[in-house]
Amino acid sequence: MDTLLTGLGKSAQTIGLVGPSVTDHPDLPALARKITEQGKKLSFSSLRMETLTDELVDLILQSGQKTLTVAVDAPSEKMRDVINKAATDDFIVEKCRFLTRKGILHLKIYSIIGLPLETEDDIDQFIRLVERVQEGYVEECRKLGRIGQLTIGLSPLVPKPGTPFQWHPMESVKSLKKKFARVRKALGKIPYLKMSFGSPNEAYLQTYLSRGDRNTQAFFKTYLNNGHDAKSALKEHPVDEYVYRQYEKNDYLPWDIVDHGYRENFLWEDYQRGLKAAHTPVCDTAICHICGLC
C-alpha cells in the first residue's frame, strides 16, 4: 500500500476503496489512516451502516470527505430479513443522526426495490423511514449550523445469475414505476431531500442480458445494426419470457455451464430462506463452510 500511495504521487487526490463489504476488512482503520496521512481523500463505493465506527468516520472526515453513501439495502425490516440484513429502522435512523452529528453533511441512502414478497406496505414503511431520517438529519444540521443534502437512491432489483434470486422474476416495469411514483408523491416536497431512481426500463434490459440464453445474439445483431436502439430491438425480439420467468429448482438455467464454486443446492436453499424471511448468522471466514467457497 505504501508503495502504491507513493507511486501515485500528487496525481490522485482521492483513493476509492471498492468491494462488496469494504468495512469488514480487518485492516481498514490502518489503511484509512495511511491514506489520510498521505493527504488523500478517502472514498467508498457504498458502506454498511453497522460497520461505521467513530474512528472510521473521523478518518473519513479528516481526509476532507464530507459525502457518504450508506446502504440500507431494502425498504423495510421485513425486506431486510428476506435478503438476510439485520438493520432495523431505529438503528438506521440513529446511525444517520450519528453521521450527520459527526459532520457528514451529504448523506446518500441507498436501497434496492422490487425484492421478492415486497408489497406496498414495505414501500410505505420506507417512506416513513425516510421521513424519520430526514427529521433527524435536519435537527442535527441545525445544531451544527450547516446543512448539505440528504439523497435517497432506489434501484430496481435485477435478478442475477450466481445469486439466490437467479430463479426469481424481475418485478414488472409497470409495478416498479407505480412504486417510484408512490415514493415521489409522498416525499417530493420534503426539504433538503433529493431522490434518485434507477430506471425500470434499464433494469428490464439488464435482467434480459443477465438471464438470457444463446438467443441473446439475435437481439444483439439487431441492436448493433439499428444504431444501438435497444427499445426497437426489444420490440423485434420480445424478451418477457426471460425477464419475468419464475424458474423452478430443477430447471436447467442458461448459465449452469458456469461453475461458481458453490456447494450443490446452496443458492436454492438461500433463495428459500429469503422467501421465508429467515436469518442466517453472519459468516466467520475462519470456520464457515456454508456456501462451499472457503
Q: Which residues bind ligand SF4 (CB under 6 A)?
A: 283, 285, 288-291, 293-294
Nearer Cβ to ligand SF4 (13/21): 21
CB of 32 to ligand SF4, least distance (A): 23
Q: Are 44 and 57 in contact (CB under 8 A)?
A: no
Residue 274, Cβ neighbours under 10 Å: how many?
A: 21
- What is the DSSP track for 253-291? PTTTTS---PPTTHHHHHHHHHHTT---PPP-TTT--SS
| CB-based burial, 214-243: b 16+ in 10 Å, e otherwise | eebeebeebbeeeeeebeebbeebebeebb
Nearer Cβ to ligand SF4 (190/291): 291
Nearer Cβ to ligand SF4 (91/268): 268
CB of 265 to ligand SF4, least distance (A): 14
CB of 129 to ligand SF4, least distance (A): 28
Angstrom distance (rounded) from CA 100 to CA 139: 9
Nearer Cβ to ligand SF4 (144/293): 293
196: left (phi over 0), alpha (psi -120 to 50) or beta: beta
Nearer Cβ to ligand SF4 (45/280): 280
CB of 260 to ligand SF4, least distance (A): 11
CB of 166 to ligand SF4, least distance (A): 17
